[in-house]
């Protein structure tokens, strides 16, 4: 059914094949995949001709957003509350500035949006420095084309954006478009390279077979020279794949099953409607001279001596079979894309953090792969861009100038646990760390670093200094108490 419906989505030959594939995945993610079908599910026959409408031409009336749910669950484990990675850097000033920048630039929201958009295969995150402030924006990649350095395949040399847009939309954005071209399609194009963000004046889309030999004209008014020395964009591939441009789609393996599930649930809905309002059948009814059914008092239908009247009813076991099969399809679909198959009805008591991890192990495996894509290959390169840009532009965070940052500073990410530990988990961890510290297996600094996420310790060195100060104060009080006790004992009675 998925392939049949996909074939109804028109393909624009002016775009590459990947654009159509990503467009279909995005429709499924956004719940607009069935919009190309002309008939609602309840329309079993065309009103004009009475011709039967096949299922493949009808939009399901019950839609279970299984693919969207798995994406949102995985993104919640990736960048949800308390799960955003901490910045680790030996240069304390660099670390503090980056932490403040993450909050001011709302990088958590940007990366969350990027993970949602990129679940179809890829996403790009653009960095801009405007009036000394840093901004980030997640961009869809349907109409973006990356170009990499042949001698450094992981380094972008250019990213081109090109797509069609109506003339009236361009006029609303300030372009000069003739009245006759308002309903015509135009090409919109801009590029990013190591020195410039270049915009081009829109030009009309030519008819089939015609070619525009003239190069697009540069829009000097909107073009900007950033002079950063690198493309201010990070291209993120969602999941590992053999494609150099797009990664794997998070929910690709469950699409066919999800579509079948929607139609099965819709058919079950129609069966329930029939069951609630059964069809009346008559055998040899009584009619008057005008050919109308004879209705008795109380709206009862009168039939002849050998006649009969029945209601067509559906056996309730059929509905149960539909529900059981739908649940099985759901389970198979979730299993194929590492979705959460745990049922809250089967959890009898509060679970520890470790127990929850085991319960959600498939989803955690998916989130682990996403941490590599959106953390090591996404967030870290963006932060390194900020360090490089600070040597070119005067930048400020929270209204304060930050000066030039250390470009050579080594930055890493420290990811927290997927599930917050319970009091029992904290007690067990504390006992374990105390045992290792007392035995000399780990240092106090390592022990504090281990629990820093749990107790929201931002500066480990400062925390160690406070611990030492508290210990010294406690020792001083103990010495004072001991001296007081000793003095009391020496006073003669």
CA 377/CA 136 separation, integer angstroms:
16
Q: Is residue 265 part of a domain?
A: no
Residue 326: its pLDDT value, please? 87
463: in domain: yes
Of 215, 5, 245, the residue nearest 142 (C-alpha): 245
Q: State the residue range of the domain holding 303.
A: 279-312
Look at the chain and report how many structural domains it folds into: 2
307 located within any domain:
yes
Half-sphere exposure for 46 (CA within 13 Å, toward CB): 9
The rounded distance, in Å, linking the Cα atoms of 267 and 261 is: 10
Q: What is the pLDDT of residue 353?
A: 58
Question: pLDDT per residue over 58-112, tens digit each?
Answer: 899 889 999 999 999 999 999 987 889 989 888 889 999 999 999 999 999 999 9
**Regions of the chain where pLDDT drops below 50:** none
Q: Is residue 210 part of a domain?
A: no
In a domain, 240, yes or no: no
Model confidence, pTM: 0.79
Predicted pLDDT of residue 109: 95
pLDDT tens by residue, 445-457: 888 887 777 777 7
What does the alpha-carbon distance between residue 170 and residue 378 come to, in Å, rounded to a whole number?
32
Residues 6+ apart with CB under 8 A from 25: 120, 121, 249, 251, 252
Query: Is 450 domain-assigned?
Result: yes
pLDDT of residue 454: 73
């Amino acid at each position: 059914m998925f392939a049949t419906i996909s074939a109804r989505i028109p393909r624009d030959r002016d775009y590459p094949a990947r654009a159509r594939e990503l467009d279909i995945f995005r429709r499924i993610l956004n719940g607009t995949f069935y919009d190309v079908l002309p008939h609602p599910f309840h329309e079993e026959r065309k009103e004009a001709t009475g011709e039967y409408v096949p299922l493949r031409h009808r939009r399901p009336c019950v839609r279970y957003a299984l693919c969207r749910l798995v994406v949102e669950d995985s993104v919640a484990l990736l960048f949800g509350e308390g799960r955003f990675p901490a910045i680790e850097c030996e240069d304390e000033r660099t670390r503090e500035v980056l932490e403040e920048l993450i909050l001011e630039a709302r990088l958590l929201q940007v990366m969350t949006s990027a993970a949602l958009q990129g679940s179809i295969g890829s996403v790009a995150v653009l960095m801009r420095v405007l009036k000394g402030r840093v901004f980030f924006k997640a961009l869809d990649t349907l109409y973006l084309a990356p170009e990499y350095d042949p001698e450094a395949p992981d380094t972008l040399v250019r990213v081109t954006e090109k797509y069609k847009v109506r003339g009236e939309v361009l006029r609303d954005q300030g372009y000069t478009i003739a009245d006759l071209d308002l309903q015509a399609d135009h090409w919109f194009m801009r590029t990013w390279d190591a020195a410039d963000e270049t915009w081009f004046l829109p030009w009309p889309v030519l008819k089939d077979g015609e070619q525009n030999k003239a190069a697009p004209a540069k829009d000097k008014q909107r073009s900007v020279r950033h002079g950063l020395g690198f493309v201010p964009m990070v291209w993120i591939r969602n999941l590992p794949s053999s494609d150099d441009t797009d990664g794997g789609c998070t929910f690709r393996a469950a699409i066919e099953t999800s579509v079948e599930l929607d139609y099965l649930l819709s058919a079950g809905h129609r069966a329930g409607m029939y069951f609630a309002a059964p069809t009346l059948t008559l055998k040899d009814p009584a009619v008057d001279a005008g050919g109308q059914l004879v209705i008795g008092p109380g709206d009862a239908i009168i039939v002849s001596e050998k006649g009969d009247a029945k209601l067509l009813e559906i056996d309730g076991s059929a509905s149960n079979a539909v529900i059981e099969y739908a649940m099985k399809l759901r389970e198979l679909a979730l299993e194929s894309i590492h979705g959460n198959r745990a049922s809250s009805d089967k959890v009898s008591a509060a679970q520890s953090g470790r127990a929850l991890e085991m319960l959600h192990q498939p989803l955690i495996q998916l989130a682990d792969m996403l941490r590599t894509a959106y953390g090591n290959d996404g967030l870290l390169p963006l932060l390194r861009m900020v360090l490089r840009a600070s040597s070119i532009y005067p930048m400020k965070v929270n209204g304060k100038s930050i000066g030039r940052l250390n470009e050579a500073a080594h930055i890493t990410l420290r990811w927290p646990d997927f599930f917050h530990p319970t009091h029992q988990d904290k007690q067990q961890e504390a006992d374990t760390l105390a045992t290792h510290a007392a035995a000399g297996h780990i240092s106090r600094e390592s022990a504090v670093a281990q629990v820093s996420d749990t107790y929201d310790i931002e500066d480990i060195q400062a925390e160690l200094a406070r611990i030492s100060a508290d210990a010294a104060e406690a020792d001083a009080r103990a010495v004072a108490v001991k001296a007081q006790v000793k003095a009391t004992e020496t006073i003669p009675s």
